[in-house]
Amino acid sequence: MRIPTIKDDRLYTKEHEWVKIEGDAAMVGISDYAQDLLTDVVFVELPKAGKALEQFKPACVVESVKSVSDVYAPLSGTVSEANSALEKSPEAINGDPYGAGWIFKITGFKTEETANLMDAAAYKAFIATLKH
Amino acid sequence: MPYIPHTKRDTEEMLKAIGINQIEDLFEAVPSDLLEMNEFNLPAGFSEQETRQHVSGIAAKNWTAEASFLGGGFYHHYIPEHVTNLGTRSEFFTAYTPYQPEISQGILQAIFEYQTMIVRLTGLDATNASMYDGSSATGETCLMAANITDRKKILVARSVHPQYREVMRTYCNGKGLIMEEVPFDMSSGQVDAAALGSSLTEEIAGIFVQSPNFFGVVENMKELSDMAHEKGAVSVQIITEALSLGILTPPGKNNVDIAVGEGQSFGIPVSGGGPSFGFLACVEKYIRKLPGRIVGETVDEDGKKAYVLTLQAREQHIRREKASSNICTNQTLFAIRALIYLATLGKKLRDLALLNHSHSLAFQKMLSEKGLRRVFSKPFFNEFVVDGCDTLLLQKLKEQRIAGGLPLKRFYPELKNSLLVCVTEMITKDDMEKYLREFLFIKEAPLRSA
Amino acid sequence: MQTIFEKSVLGRSQYQLPVAIAAEIELGEGMTRSMLDLPEVSELDIVRHYTALSQRSFGVDTGFYPLGSCTMKYNPRINEAMAGLKEFAQFHPWQDDADSQGTLELIYRTQEYLTEVTGFPGLTLEPAAGAHGELTAVMMMKAYHLDRNDTQRRKMLIPDSAHGTNPATAAMCGFDTVEVPSDAQGGVDLEKLKAVLDEKTVGMMLTIPNTLGLFDRNILEISKLLHEKGALLYMDGANLNAILGAVKPAKMGVDVMHINLHKTFSTPHGGGGPGGGFVGCVSSLVPYLPAQRIVKDGDSFRLDFSAPKSIGRVRAFYSNFGVIVRAYTYMLRLGKEGTKRIGRYAVLNANYIKARLKDFYNIPFQQHCMHEVVFNDEKQTQYHITTMDIAKRLIDFGYHPPTIYFPLIVHGSLMVEPTETESKETLDEFIDAMMKIAEEAKVTPELLQRAPHSAAVKRVDSVKAARNPVVVCNTCCT
């Protein structure tokens, strides 16, 4: 298996979401490791703006040809925007998981919840434990 | 032994290869008192010849009409011979779901063509590869409407097929949805639009209206759909007489979101109510909410056109407890038969639909002139309700090997002397005249005895 | 190949209607459609087109079809002939009981047979397919608990090896699903079951034998544990063929089960349907069965609807009556001797394949299997060969591939179900092909990776199909 890219500028969950906080908004996507496991993403069921999220509860769904995966909210808050470009090109999640493949943004989150997330080094160590 | 080809020697060799002495050794995981060693209380097996005699004997106990005016959800239509012939080709009927696209291109393409037919007939954008039947497909559509709108209440017209309403209620109870019935107008025979309007709140997931309805009456689907949309509900049109799609304004043109119904009219015998197939079509935006299999066009490794089951992530084998339906079987064999039927009639489906309408209208007028009056006023497709009929008429008709229609009292106590009469292309002028003669005979009987 | 729409030529249609005896129309403005974009082709075009499509399909009649979990046995032709009898095919479902005696009797007799082989006193043939039977059964379980004012039960236990229909069905009935892991022998992990089983449990949905093709030796313990907590055991009968004539489900402590008539009882699969469902249950669940029941009064039969606690109706009319005729015809042919042999010979065939291929393919579970055997690609991974490659290569040898990548708990699983209707010679030829493929995996792996070579198309692009769904043909026929 290829070695997944893990970016230092954001935090991660055990369910392989990343979150990057920029001012009032927290941008969310799935990690390179997750997109590789999923294989070709064919559809993203985007959350509606205004949807209330709870940390580590399902926020939306990502589909590949052979699987369906929940995307869990890394932080509690409200969906402020979803990446509508994914409606036309879901493959961005595979091609650029940390950039064009972002899925939604959260506002009104509680900063203290970031304590429940992993930084890049911790996440790297975490996925190393998953390999069989 | 029928259908088990093993000779004694085969069995011995196979046991030896496995390394056991008797077949029962393979059942070692079964608790010993559970393994059946005794004889079953069943008759000895029949030869094929005896089987044919026996089953034919049971079949003969059914009464068979020479002319049937029964409709009400299942219809007698003519089936061209080649439709039956092609539809029973064994490559179709002994295959299973085309999960391996490379050796299933024929069935996949046939389903793709079927989907195209249904989409063109309904004027909607997408459909699945078929459902069990019209009633269960309608039950599934309740769940679909709730899933789309995230609401829990279903409104259904009382002029919807009574058994469909029963099935809907069962599905709604299962999922915890609430189903409410809306009355029909006793004079027009259409759903009571005012009553529908007052029940239609922002809690309603969908309105379910059958058109032509159980009384054969065509509903104002556009007006009803617009009412539904105003409250954010989806508009569902149920169709049990699929032939009506040949002439009536298609659901899509009437702003209907989902059309669901029974496809039996397209080349499939009535056969006690099945097997046939249900169809379910919707507007583009709900395609990922459709239950069941869907075939899509794609390419193979060489870039050659190919078909494959697609959007499978909606389905139970992938989505499991998140799936909105558990359906896996569809009715491919009968969807293919309907496809061949539709390809055969082509644009003449419209002529056949018109002929059904004109003949039923002519017969209705013949009856009306003699005093058997129609109950409802709004236009009908190929079946209508008459009042003032008693069991004697049905009995007399039966003696002439005519099934005279369906008494409605069982389902609608207020229609206690009413009969649902259906006229398709199978009914000849002679049949109509016989029917009329029997009616007049009964009507005039008291005069004769006086 | 072109679609029928692309073959359409304006004015070509030859179809002739009977002569009209009336022409008046009473459909007002806006009620009729102006356009009907259906094809125009000659009858011969149609015959050739659909014959060609049938030839690009693969059925049991084409060749060996060892598709695990689907029981692709021979579909006897006499079944078709009996379903096609005029008195059945032209039987209108609204005929009253007196005019429906043949239909009612046939359904009644089918139920009698099923009662004898399953041991269940209560039953219905109303469900239209297996998953429909599952739904009926779980609705009955729900009604049973609610009727006892037992409203706390929300949890449905489902083994991790289950078919997807099980969790989907539980969800359709508003239940939460709890996955129960399998143990090292492929059965239900009893300790893990005990840990999740409580008074909030609706029941357990158990496939017997399970999807690994194994009979759970703890079955009596499982049903006892469930019953102690007031929960019910539902048996998914998708794999009934393994035990037909060998084990009566009711004796295992099963409370309710479904059967697929199109698997165990030889009715054709029809390219994905029609199916036929059956639900059997113990007497305590009888009140909740679908409301339409057939009652025998002396020598005649009638429909009875007096079941106030019933879940209602799951399908209009007499369901897939034609499928029931086929199944009954098969049951008559089997009789008591044949019935007893079905499960035994299905199991013999599967174990024969297992024994002869055990050195060529990895077998995750060593014990005797039931009607199907699960292999995986562990021995082939070193050559970069996957289960998919093996399956596609089988096509070149003239076989329908087995079920692949299911059950999910076995990595790269390849599930082979031969059924009892296949002869030793057929199995030997298949075994030879599998051995040859195992050899090819070592020597010429690219042959497998690029397979199939003989089919109408190469491997297809499923990703493209799902990303940009094209689900209808765009060619106009106007």
**Statement to judge: residues B193 and B287 lie in one domain:** yes
**Statement to judge: residues B244 and B383 lie in one domain:** no
What is the pLDDT confidence band of residue B318, given thresholds at 50, 70 and 90?
confident
**C436-442 long-range CB contacts below 8 Å, 24 or more apart?**
C436/C397, C437/C390, C437/C393, C437/C394, C437/C397, C438/C360, C438/C361, C438/C379, C438/C380, C440/C393, C441/C380, C441/C383, C441/C385, C441/C389, C441/C390, C442/C383
Q: Tell me how far apart the alpha carbons of residues C370 and A68 are, in angstroms, rounded to a whole number.
A: 31
Nearest residue, CB atoms, B318 vs list A43, A45, A67: A67
Contacts of C98 in chain B (CB under 8 A): 63
Domain that holds residue A39: 11-110
Chain C neighbours, 3+ Cβ pairs < 8 A = A, B
Contact at CB, C463 and A43, closer than 8 angstroms: no
Contact at CB, B318 and A42, closer than 8 angstroms: no
Which residues share a beta bridge with C258? Answer: C236, C279
| Chain A contact for C469 (CB, 8 A cutoff) | no
Distance from the C395 Cα atom to the nearest Cα atom in chain A, whole angstroms = 22
**Statement to judge: residues B377 and B414 lie in one domain:** yes
Residue A131: CB atoms within 10 Å: 6
**Statement to judge: residues B314 and B356 lie in one domain:** no
B residues 376-405 near C, CB within 8 Å? 379, 398, 403
Chain A neighbours, 3+ Cβ pairs < 8 A = B, C
Average pLDDT, chain B: 96
What is the pLDDT confidence band of residue A1, given thresholds at 50, 70 and 90?
low
Residue A66: CB atoms within 10 Å: 16
Which residues share a beta bridge with A105? Answer: A27, A81
**Statement to judge: residues B270 and B394 lie in one domain:** no
Contacts of A90 in chain C (CB under 8 A): 467
For the whole prediction, is pTM greater than 0.90? yes
Domains of chain C: 78-334 (3.40.640.10), 345-464 (3.90.1150.10)
Nearest CA in chain C to A67: C408
Q: Does B401 reside within a domain?
A: yes
Please name the residues in contact with A29: beta carbons below 8 A apart, sequence gap of 6 or more. Answer: A17, A18, A93, A97, A98, A101, A102, A103
Q: What is the mean pLDDT of residues B37-54?
A: 96
Q: Tell me how far apart the alpha carbons of residues B289 and A10 are, in angstroms, rounded to a whole number.
A: 34
- Chain A residues whose C-beta is within 8 A of a chain C C-beta are 40, 42-43, 63, 65-66, 90-91
What is residue A3's predicted lDDT score, i.e. its pLDDT?
85
N-terminal to C-terminal alpha carbon distance within chain A: 11
- DSSP class of residue A86 equals H
| Chain B contact for A58 (CB, 8 A cutoff) | no
DSSP string, B228-273: HHHTTPEEEEEES-GGGGGTBPPGGGGT-SEEEEE-TTTT---GGG
Q: How far is CA C252 from the centre of its chain?
A: 22
| Chain A contact for B288 (CB, 8 A cutoff) | yes
Contact at CB, B91 and C421, closer than 8 angstroms: no
Residue B28: CB atoms within 10 Å: 13
Query: Which is nearest to C463 in space by CA: A41, B318, A67, A84?
Result: A41
Q: Does A38 reside within a domain?
A: yes
B residues 319-358 near C, CB within 8 Å? 319-334, 336, 339-340, 342-352, 354-355, 357-358
Q: Count residue pairs from B and C with Cβ separation < 8 A.
A: 674
Q: What are phi and psi of C476, to 5 degrees?
A: -75, 150
Nearest CA in chain A to C461: A65
What is residue C256's predicted lDDT score, i.e. its pLDDT?
98
Count of domains for chain A: 1
Percent helix / strand / coil, chain B, rounded to 5: 45, 15, 40
Low-confidence stretches of chain C (pLDDT < 50) are none
Interface test with C, best of B24, B28, B36, B178 (most C CBs within 10 A): B36
| Chain C contact for B102 (CB, 8 A cutoff) | yes
| Per-residue model confidence as pLDDT tens digits over C387-400 | 999 999 999 999 99
What is residue B448's predicted lDDT score, i.e. its pLDDT?
65
Contacts of B263 in chain C (CB under 8 A): none
Tokens of residue C467, six digits = 């990303």
Q: Does A115 reside within a domain?
A: no
Distance from the C355 Cα atom to the nearest Cα atom in chain B, whole angstroms = 5
How far, in Å, are B264, C58, C453 from residue B243 at the CA level? Answer: 9, 32, 43
Contacts of C462 in chain A (CB under 8 A): 65
Contact at CB, B26 and C315, closer than 8 angstroms: no
Distance from the C366 Cα atom to the nearest Cα atom in chain A, whole angstroms = 23
Distance from the C69 Cα atom to the nearest Cα atom in chain A, whole angstroms = 19
Q: What are phi and psi of C443, to 5 degrees?
A: -90, -45
| Chain A contact for C462 (CB, 8 A cutoff) | yes
**Statement to judge: residues B341 and B371 lie in one domain:** no
Nearest CA in chain C to A42: C467
Contact at CB, A91 and C467, closer than 8 angstroms: yes
What is residue A132's predicted lDDT score, i.e. its pLDDT?
47
Percent helix / strand / coil, chain C, rounded to 5: 40, 15, 50
Q: What is the mean pLDDT of residues B181-206?
A: 98
Nearest residue, CB atoms, B62 vs list C103, C248, C460: C103
Q: Can you state the angle between helices B348-369 and B332-345, rounded to 10 degrees?
A: 90
Nearest residue, CB atoms, A67 vs list B288, B311, B313: B313
Out of B345, B375, B408, a domain closes at: B345
Out of B305, B321, B345, a domain closes at: B345
Contacts of B18 in chain C (CB under 8 A): 348, 351-352, 354-355
Contact at CB, B288 and A45, closer than 8 angstroms: yes
Distance from the C287 Cα atom to the nearest Cα atom in chain B, whole angstroms = 15
**Statement to judge: residues B298 and B367 lie in one domain:** no
Contact at CB, C467 and A63, closer than 8 angstroms: no
Q: Does A37 reside within a domain?
A: yes
| Chain C contact for B30 (CB, 8 A cutoff) | yes
Distance from the C415 Cα atom to the nearest Cα atom in chain B, whole angstroms = 14
Q: What are phi and psi of C453, to 5 degrees?
A: -105, -15
Please name the residues in contact with C11: beta carbons below 8 A apart, sequence gap of 6 or more. Answer: C40
Q: Does A131 reside within a domain?
A: no
Q: What is the mean pLDDT of residues B88-109?
A: 96
What is residue C478's predicted lDDT score, i.e. its pLDDT?
85
φ/ψ bin of C257: left (φ > 0), alpha (ψ from -120 to 50), beta (otherwise):
beta
What is the pLDDT confidence band of residue B447, given thresholds at 50, 70 and 90?
low
Q: Can you state the angle between helices B332-345 and C43-55, rounded to 10 degrees?
A: 160
Query: Which is nearest to C347 in space by CA: C378, C368, C326, C324?
Result: C368
Strand ordering across the sheet containing A68-72 = A41-45, A58-64, A68-72
Q: Does A29 reside within a domain?
A: yes
Query: Which is nearest to C424 in space by CA: B243, B15, B354?
Result: B15
| Per-residue model confidence as pLDDT tens digits over A69-89 | 999 999 999 999 999 999 999
| H-only helix segments in C358-455 | 387-396, 424-443, 445-449
Q: What is the CATH number of the domain that holds A93?
A: 2.40.50.100
Query: Which is nearest to B80 in space by CA: B345, B346, B356, B352?
Result: B345
Q: Tell me how far apart the alpha carbons of residues B236 and B290 are, in angstroms, rounded to a whole number.
A: 13
Q: What three-state secondary structure class fits C445?
A: helix
Q: Tell me how far apart the alpha carbons of residues C43 and B83 are, in angstroms, rounded to a whole number.
A: 10
Which residues share a beta bridge with C278? Answer: C259
| Chain B contact for A65 (CB, 8 A cutoff) | yes
Q: Tell me how far apart the alpha carbons of residues B58 and C85 are, in angstroms, rounded to a whole number.
A: 11
- DSSP class of residue C443 equals H
Radius of gyration of chain A (CA): 14
Domain that holds residue B98: 81-345
Contacts of B311 in chain A (CB under 8 A): 43
Distance from the C431 Cα atom to the nearest Cα atom in chain A, whole angstroms = 29
Tokens of residue C475, six digits = 């060619």
Contacts of A64 in chain B (CB under 8 A): 313
Q: Does A95 reside within a domain?
A: yes
Q: What three-state secondary structure class fits C279?
A: strand
Tokens of residue A122, six digits = 């911790």
Tokens of residue B385, six digits = 């309700």
Tokens of residue C42, six digits = 């000659």
| Per-residue model confidence as pLDDT tens digits over B331-355 | 999 999 999 999 999 999 999 999 9
Distance from the C253 Cα atom to the nearest Cα atom in chain B, whole angstroms = 11
| Chain B contact for A2 (CB, 8 A cutoff) | no
User: Which ipTM was obtained for this model?
Assistant: 0.97
Q: Tell me how far apart the alpha carbons of residues C351 and B203 are, in angstroms, rounded to a whole number.
A: 57
Q: Tell me how far apart the alpha carbons of residues C297 and C288 are, in angstroms, rounded to a whole number.
A: 22
Q: Does B337 reside within a domain?
A: yes
The H or E element containing residue C158 is strand C155-159
Nearest CA in chain A to C406: A66
**Statement to judge: residues B439 and B378 lie in one domain:** yes
**Statement to judge: residues B264 and B301 lie in one domain:** yes
What is the pLDDT confidence band of residue B402, given thresholds at 50, 70 and 90?
very high
Count of domains for chain B: 2
Q: Tell me how far apart the alpha carbons of residues C180 and B194 are, in angstroms, rounded to a whole number.
A: 52
Nearest residue, CB atoms, C172 vs list B17, B31, B325: B325
Q: What are phi and psi of C392, to 5 degrees?
A: -70, -30
**Statement to judge: residues B403 and B327 lie in one domain:** no
Contact at CB, B313 and A45, closer than 8 angstroms: no
- Return the ∠ at Cα C5 (arms to C1 and C7), rounded to 5°: 65
**Percentage of the residues of chain A whose pLDDT score is greater than 90:** 87
Contact at CB, C59 and B91, closer than 8 angstroms: yes
Yes or no: say if C140 and C288 are a contact pair by the CB < 8 Å rule. yes
Nearest residue, CB atoms, A65 vs list B312, B319, B322: B312
- DSSP class of residue C67 equals B
Q: What is the CATH number of the domain that holds B393?
A: 3.90.1150.10
- CA atoms B424, B425, B427, B428: torsion sign: positive
**Statement to judge: residues B362 and B236 lie in one domain:** no
Query: Which is nearest to B94 in space by CA: C421, C65, C392, C403?
Result: C65
Tokens of residue B51, six digits = 């089987």
Distance from the A67 Cα atom to the nearest Cα atom in chain B, whole angstroms = 6
What is the pLDDT confidence band of residue B324, given thresholds at 50, 70 and 90?
confident
Residue where the block lists tokens 């075994």: C431
Out of B323, B345, B367, a domain closes at: B345
How far, in Å, are B187, B223, B431, B432, C413 from residue B377 at the CA level? Answer: 6, 18, 25, 22, 63
**Statement to judge: residues B328 and B341 lie in one domain:** yes
Query: Which is nearest to B381 in space by CA: B186, B259, B210, B252?
Result: B210
Lowest mean pLDDT among B82-96, B434-448, C77-91, C447-461: B434-448
Please name the residues in contact with C450: beta carbons below 8 A apart, sequence gap of 6 or more. Answer: C458
Distance from the A29 Cα atom to the nearest Cα atom in chain C, whole angstroms = 19
